[in-house]
A and B are shown apart, each in its own frame.
Chain A
Amino acid sequence: MSDYLPHTEEEVADMLAFLGLASLDDLFASVPPSLRLAGGLALPEGRPEPDVLDDLAGLAAANPASAGRLVCFAGGGAYDHEVPPVVRALAGRAEFVTSYTPYQPEVAQGVLQALFEFQTMAARLAGLPLANASLYDGASALVEGVNLGVAATGRGTVWVSSGIHPHWRAVLRTFAAGTGHQVVEAPLRLGQTAWPERTGSGSPGVIAVGYPNYLGCLEDLGEVRRLCDRHGAVMLVAADPVSAGILRTGGEWGAEVVVGEGQPLGTPLSFGGPYLGLFACAERHVRRLPGRLVGETVDAEGRRAYVTTLRAREQDIRREKATSNVCTNQTLMAVTAAIQLGWLGTAGLSEVALRCARGTRYCRDALLGLPGVSPLTGSTPVVREFALRTPVPARVLVDRLAAEGFLAGLVLADLTGEGGDGSVSAEEAEHGLLVAVTERRTRTQIDAFVTAFDKAVRQ
C-alpha cells in the first residue's frame, strides 16, 4: 500500500464512531447503490515510489529527441534557451509551486508581487502600458486577444496573417466555432502577408500579424497599422519575447494588443507545456483584459501591498456576461519568467537576442550554400529562425539527421498539414524545414550540423 494519507486505522475507526457510522462505505450512503462501482477501478494496484520512478524514467529514456541527446535546431514556438541553475532553484521554491490563486492577499504577497513585477516586464517587452498575469500559452493569448478586439469594435470579422503559427490559427478556428467570429486567413507570399484588397464579408474588427512571423520573417507592420486605421480595426501583434531584445516593440508599431509565447523566458521545452501566454494591451482596453491582473495598493496600516484587481471583469463575478472564462492560468511560468528576466536584465536580454540572430545568420548562410537548399521566404529579412526548401522531403532529412545526433528542425507539413496552408503550398510543406538557432548553439555544433546536413541531402 503506497499513499500519502496520514490516518491510522485506529483514527479512521474513531472518526467513523464520532460520525455514528459503521464503515467507510457508509460515507457514500447518498450515492444510489445501482451506481456504485463494484469491484473497484480496473487499474493496477499502487506501487512504491521507487518502482514508479524507475518505470517513468524508462519512458523518459525512450525519448531520444531530448535536447541532451539530440542537438536542438527545432523552434516553431518552442525554443532551447539557457535556463540557469539559479532560475530553476528559485522557480522551484515550494511556496511558489504549492500555493494557489492569491485569493487571500495577506498571505500571498510573494506571488502577487512577483506577478506585479512580471506584468511590468511583460508590458515593457510589448511596448504597451498594461499586461495581465498570464494566459495558458501563445495560442490562447491569440484567441483572447481576438475576443477582446471583436468585443471592442463590435465586429466579428478577423483578419489573421498566415504568418501566425499554424497551431495558433488552428486553435483560433476551433474557438471561433463558439464565438461565431469570421476568421479570414491572409496568405503569405515569400514570408510576407498578402492582405485582402477588399473587405468581402465585412470590415475587420481585428487584424493580427506575427513579429517575427512563424517562418522568422520580419513583416512591414507599418502597413498593418495603416490597414487598421483604414478599417478601424484593433491591431494585434503576436511577438516573440526574446526577439524583443533587438526588435521594435509591437507598441511602437502601433499595436493595441500584443500577445506571445513566453516559453523562451525560463521554461524548458517540456514537450509543449506548461508554457506561458503573454498578453499586453493599451490602456483603453483595460476593462476587457482577460485573466488575472495584479495591482498595487496599501494595507490597513498604509504599507505597500498587492492584490488581484479589476475583479469585476472576471468570470466568477460576471458569469455569463464575461468575455473570458480564464480562471487558473500559468502563474508559476509567469513567476519563472520574472526570475529569468531578472537574471538577464537589460543587457542580458539584448545579448541573447543578438546571439540568436548571429547564430541564425551563420547557420542559414552555411545551409544555403549546400546543393539544392534554398530559402523558402526569398530575401525577406529573418531573425530567430528560417524556413528552407530542401531537395529531399524534409521528413526524410529530419530522420537522417536524427541518426547523426541532431534535431534538425520542424517539418512544415507537420505544422500546416500535408496540404500546406495559407503560409506554404503542399509542395513547400513537404520540402520545407523550419530551423531555429538559439544562443546555446556553438559554432562547433553549427558546423557539425551543416556537415551532417550536406551528407543527408546527398544521401
Chain B
Amino acid sequence: MIQFIIRRLLLSIVTLAIILVIVTLIPNVAPGDPARKIAGGTASPERLAAVTESLGLDKSVPEQLRDVAGDLIRFDFGEAFTKPGQSVTGLVRTSLWNSTKLVLFALVLVLPLSVAGGVWAAYRRDTWIDRLIVNVGVALSSLPEFVVGVLFLALLAVPIGFFKVVANPPEGANIFTQLQFLLLPALTVLTVYFGYIARITRASTISVLDSDYTRTAFMKGLATGEVFRRHTLRNSLLPTVAVVGTQLGYMFGGMVGLELIFNYPGLGKLIFDAVDSADYPLLRGGVLTVAVIYMIATLSADLLIAWMNPRARLNLGEG
C-alpha cells in the first residue's frame, strides 16, 4: 500500500508539472504580441510594459518556468495585476472557501440521490423506471450549467420568493440562510450531475448483480437489502468514486457560468473576473489552484478505491 501511495503521488506531481509548463507556455506561443491584444490598441507604453510583465513575457521561458514553479511550491502567486496591494493567494483563498461551501452542499444533494437513482435503475433494469432515469439523466447531464441556471432563475427564483436569485448570502447570515441562498446553484449542480453519476452507478451495479457471488448471495436466501449492503454496493460504487474524484476539479473551478449567473464569488467567478479585467497573474493562480484541487481529489479517490478494493492496488501500482 505504501509503495502504491508513493507511486501515485509521483504521478500526480508529474501531471502538475506538465500543467504548469502548459499554462506558462501559452502566452509565449501566442502569435503576435498578446500583451498588446490584452491591453488594447490604444494603450500607453507604460501600460503595455506592465501587461507584458504581468504575462511574464519580459523574462525568458526557463526563468518564467522557475518563477511559476516557485510560486506554486510556496503557494504565493504575488500581487494581483489589477488589484494593487491584494495578493493573488488571498483572493484565491477567499474564492476557494466559497467554492468549497457550494461544492460540499451540492455533493450532499448529488451523491445520495444519484447513487440511489443508479442502483434503483439497475435493480429495475429494462423497466420504464430504468429508461426514465437513464434517458432524462443523459439529456440533463449534457446541458451547460448556465443554461440550467437561467431556467431555474426564471422557473423557481422569480415566482417563488424562497429561492434566491443571488447565491451570496448577506454578511453574517446563519448556516440555514446560507444554505437557502446556495440552494438554487446546488440544485443546478444536481441537475447536471445526476444523470452522469446515476448512469455510471447503474452500469457497474448491473455488472455486479450479474456476477456469480451476487447470485450466490441471493440463492443462500439473503434479503435484497442485505445483498446490496453486504455484497453489491462495495464493488459497484468503485467507478462512482473514481468519477466523482475526477469531476471535483470541474465542480470547483469549471462552473464559471453557474457562478456568474448566481453572482457567487467562487473560483469560477474569480477566473472570469480575472479574464474580464485582464489580470493574468490572477487567472494563472486560479487555474493552477484548480489543477491542485483536481490532483488531490483524484489522488484521494484512487486511495479510497485501493482501500475499498485490494485488487485495484495492484492494477494502479503497476501503472
Do A and B pair up? The answer is no
